Every structure is written in C-alpha cells, then in structure tokens.
Homo-oligomer: A and B are copies of this chain.
Amino acid sequence: MSLETVLGEAKDIVKKVVPAGVDLTRVDFEGPVVVIYTRNIDVFADNQDIVRQLAQGLRRRVAIRPDPSLLADVEEAEEIIRNIIPEEAKISNIYFEDETGEVTIEALSPGLVIGKQGTLLNDIKKKIGWAPKVVRAPPIPSKTVDEIRQYLRSIHDDRQDFLRRTGRRISREPSPGEQYVRITSLGGFRQVGRSASLLMTRESKVLVDCGVDVSAENNGAPYLHAPELMPLESLDAVILTHAHLDHCGIIPILYKYGYEGPIYCTAPSRDLSSLLQLDYIKVAFGEGKKPPYESPQIRQAVRNTIPLKYGETTDIAPDVRLTLQNAGHILGSATTHFHIGDGLYNVAITGDIKFERTWLFNPAVNKFPRLETLIMEATYGGYHDVQPSRQEAAKRLKEIAKRVLGRGGKLLIPVFAVGRSQEVMLVLEELTRKGQIPRVPVYLDGMIWEATAIHAAYPEYLNNQLRTQIFQSGENPFLSDMFERVDSNDMRSNICDDPDPCVVLATSGMMNGGPIMEYFKAWADNPKHSLIFVGFNAEGTLARRIQKQAREITVNDKGKPLTLKIKMDVETIDGFSGHSDRLQLLNYVGSMEPRPERVLIGHGEEHKCLDLASSLYKKFGMETRAPYNLETLRLK
C-alpha cells in the first residue's frame, strides 16, 4: 500500500468516524506502524475508538501524533507533567523527541504514570500536545538497559530514517503470480546449536534466528552462504525467538555482510542478546580468536531492532504478519507465528519452549488463530527424556541445601547467566523466606547480576504470580538483600577464604572457565562443601567429567597445571531445565489449538528428532519430518 493510498484511506475512514473538520497533516510509516499526524489530537485522545477503526480499516498498527505546531514549549511541558503525575510514580527522567512529538517519562512505577485506563497520559497529551511514552526505570540498575536506552536516544534521527525505510519496504506492492510458502533449514536441524530457518514466499524472505554452535571446532555459524539467503539485502526481516547464543549469537554478522533490515523480537531479547553477544566476542578475544563480528555490528543490531510485545500482530513484509507469543523458556523468549498471504498459510516456529509454569514464566502458548505447519524443538524429544517436575527439583535443592549449609558447608552452583540462574535464585529466595533453609548470603558472580537486572527491568514478561507479587505486593524477590553481587577479585578471594556457609552461583555453566573456577579450586578438597549441577553438561566439558565421577582433575591455574583432588560432594539436580521434557513436548502438540497438519522437528540430536517425529506421527497421525540442514520443504 503506498503512502498516498494510506493517507487517502485514512482520511476516508476518519471522515466516516468523526463529524467534520479533523485535519490529518501527515502520514508516514515507522517500521510496521502507520503514524498519522493531526492538528486535532484531542478528538483522537477523547475517542480511542477512532484509532481502533483506523487500524482495522488500514489493517495496520496505527499511531496518532500531534502536528508539531501543537506542541507546548519543552520546559512548560515538563512542569505540567510533573504536576499531573503523582509523586509515588517516582519519575527518574523525562526527555522530549522533537521529530516524533513524543515525550518519554521514565519512572519506577510506570503504572502510576499511565493512570487508570490511561487517564493521566490522556490528560498530559491533551495539555502539552506531546505524546507521552512511559518506560520503567529499572529497579536494579542495569548497565545494558541504560546503555541501550541512551544509545537509542543518541541515534534517534538515524533510527527514524531506518523505520521509515522499513515501513516503505513492508508496504511495497507484492508481485503477482502463484503464491507459495517454503522453509529452508540453515542450521540447528538434527543438532543443537546455530539455529536458523529461512521462511520464503514468492514475495518475501524472513530469517528466524541466527545462532552459533559454541561447541563447534570451526566458526559454528549456520549455512549463511546458502544461495537462497543471498544477497542479505534481499531479506525482509530477521526474527529472534530468544537471547541464547545458539539462537542470537551470529545475528550481528548479518550487518557485516550487507543486511540493513529490521530484527523483530521482544525488548528483553534485544537487551539480553546484546549482553551475550558482547560477552561472546570478549571471550573470543580472550581466547586469542578473531570474533566473527565486533561491537559496531552489535550496535547496529540494537539500532535495527523493532521490539514487539507478545500477542501484537505486525506486518513484517507485504504478505507476512508476525505474532510473537510467550515460549516460557527464558526472559522474553517467544514462539513466532506467521500468517502468510491473506489466509494462504500459517506457520509457527516454537524456538525453545517450556510447556510448564516455572517460577519465572507462564507456560508456552500453544493456541493460535490458525496453523498448518509447526516447526518445533526436540532438545528433550528422545524416548528416555522424561525429567522430574519443578517441584521435585526444588525439593532436592532444599534437601541438599539444608544438609550442606546445616553442616557449615558451601553450595557451589555453576550456571548460565540467563535463565537457570534466576530460576535457582527464586527457589533459594522462597526457601529462605519460608525458613525452609538457613538464611545465608547468596553470591552472584559473572554476568548473573547483570542478567538479573534485565529480568527486573521487564517484570511484565514474568509469570502472573511473580508479576502480582512484584506489582501488587511490592515484593520483588530479585531485590532481596540475601543476593550479593561479586564485583571484584578481592571480594571473590574473601568469599573463598570465608569459613561461614554460603551459596555461590557463578558462570560458566559447564565450568569451561569463568569465575566458578576460583571457588572450585578453593573448595574442591573439602568434603563439607557441595558442587551442584542444575543444567545439561556437554560432552568434553570439565563439568561433564566431574559429573561422571572424576575424582582428580588438572586445571589451568594462572598458566600452570594444578591438580585438584575432588572431595566435595557432587550432585546433579534434574528438572530445572528451560526446555520441555518429552512429555511436555507431546502435551504441547496434543493440546494445541488448532492441531497442525504437519510438524517439522529440529533443535535436537538426530535420534531425538527422529524419536519425537515418529511419536507425534503415531500418537496424533500428523505428517512429521526431521529435515537435515540445508533442505527446503514446500509447505504450500
């Protein structure tokens, strides 16, 4: 749809909806949103129904903005805002954006800024002309969230250009001819790592995830040189399901090789992935390897990200509409649903899913308006991959913690920074709060603190119960003073030497380096302490060797080999995984609405993908397939 058509149609619709004299001064695209400028902003502020009708009529997301001539002077406007907003909202910052006529209000309690059903915001809008936008001031300061917000402000004009270009591209007239839908497996099929799927229609190309296989000998990238992906400029969109490196780790390289388009994901996925990508290149440098991209490309990825909320349907190409839904796996993780053509076809790609309510998240969504093909993960799709429940896992953690802390020992828990750490934190906080385990300090070392800060910045992505706890009872478990951040070598040494019981959560999760090693070296030979594995350990890692009963190991100690006798307890607690186990995967499909006609299986070792494919076929009679990497299937 061209700009002129949109303007014309908007005027027609407005004419039908409001009495007369409403003046639309400009229409533009900002990414997938149609922005309409008007001199009669009050008419729209009074009547949200007009906006709804405009959106329905244009079949687009619509934003109404005041014509610049209506905007109050900045100083005056700020005073009005501070008068209207109650003090309890705790405004931490206000800034104005000339070009869009928006004012961003950063507050500790955004709900209080918005007011009941948006009344305060509407009031502000009417009085100052500027359109108010509310963002949460993070309760734990997050360097990542701060820097990203600052960066986005600093490149405001550039980003507006990008959004307009993207909007125009999405609105291009589709070429005529037979329509079809194809999916190409570019990585992460019959394997875990380097996830990448290319959805192709006659008109558009959409890449879903672009991860790295960190265990690979070579670069671990997906098959990005596949000719159907080339040139990268021909891609309409990149979608990121969640911020783990096996899904997001290679995305910045796309900007190195010519991609200039958008990334669609949730806001927390944007923030977490830039954190992990920066760490990924830091680690590569540290190991003397040349990283596949550098920080300018990570910044460009941030600049080009268009954040979406769960359930928000958005045009991403002339013939493709995307809706993200909660995947329950980590903060901001999403299942992608594509509606292609006007009723032509529907595809969903699960990303990684947890089909169980966890301490952090609601279970993955498996209800869609329509669905023909489902592409799903099979990490635990194997015949024997049944895991204990969340409750059983927590019970085991409680028992071990009681025993070890009770005897004056320490709990050392190697974890990944994102997901499992926060889950274990919540369990420990609850057990402590309820007096079921002794109250001891819980030290967070590595990126865990920063990742937790990002969780705290986006409480709307947590599960209902946790959200209620935070918003209504004002109890944010992440803010508990039992958690302490380890932020210096001295502090780490002190903790190692401290004789009192404590818990340490530290990276890396598989003990291939990171701060966890310092604690391990200090405590390994003491049978009072306990080392607890809560996640999957890959073959070849130190964690796997210890888990497999190695009782003497040699590690690198400042360049010299150091042999350690392991006398501390070694325990494994299953059931903390962010992945659905086999039964949950089967339930996810079994209770799906509507039941898909076809299921493609990926993200699992080969025999697990085949196991799951065959079980789904036998149980539900649907067509299933476990493609190889580099195959293309015709879906429609």
Contacts and interface: CB of A to CB of B under 8 A. Distances in A.
A180 B630 contact: yes
Contacts of A227: 200, 205, 227-230, 234
Contacts of A205: 227
A628 interface: yes
A226 interface: yes
Interface size range on A against B: 20 to 34
A225 interface: yes
Chain B CB count within 10 A is highest, among A200, A202, A218, A228, for A228
B225 A228 contact: no
Contacts of A633: 631
Contacts of A177: 218
Nearest to A632: B632
A182 interface: yes
A634 interface: yes
Contact of A630 (B225, B226, B634): B634
B634 A634 contact: no
A629 interface: yes
Nearest to A627: B634
Interface in A213-250: 218, 225-230, 234
B184 A632 contact: yes
Nearest to A226: B228
A226 B634 CA distance: 12
Q: Assembly of this chain: how many copies?
A: 2
Contacts of A632: 184, 228, 630-632
A410 to B, nearest CB: 45
Interface string A159-191: 000000000000000000100101010000000
A602 to B, nearest CB: 13
A601 to B, nearest CB: 16
A229 B225 CA distance: 13
Contacts of A226: 228
A635 to B, nearest CB: 10
A609 to B, nearest CB: 14
A598 to B, nearest CB: 13
Given A180-B630, A633-B631, A225 B202 contact: yes
Interface in A125-184: 177, 180, 182, 184
A182 B229 CA distance: 15
A445 to B, nearest CB: 38
A180 B227 CA distance: 13
Contacts of A634: 628-631
Chain B CB count within 10 A is highest, among A225, A226, A229, for A226
A440 to B, nearest CB: 50
A184 to B, nearest CB: 7
Contacts of A228: 226-228, 632
Contacts of A182: 630-631
Interface in A186-215: 200, 202, 205
A200 B202 CA distance: 21
Contacts of A180: 630
A128 B385 CA distance: 81
A174 to B, nearest CB: 13
21 contacts: A177-B218, A180-B630, A182-B630, A182-B631, A184-B632, A202-B225, A205-B227, A226-B228, A227-B228, A227-B229, A227-B230, A228-B228, A228-B632, A629-B634, A630-B632, A630-B634, A631-B631, A631-B632, A631-B633, A631-B634, A632-B632
Interface of A: 177, 180, 182, 184, 200, 202, 205, 218, 225-230, 234, 628-634
Given A227-B228, A227-B230, 8 more contacts: A177-B218, A182-B631, A227-B229, A228-B228, A230-B230, A630-B632, A630-B634, A632-B632
Q: Which 7 A-B residue pairings sit nearest by Cβ, starting from the closest?
A: A632-B632, A228-B228, A628-B634, A227-B228, A630-B634, A631-B634, A631-B632
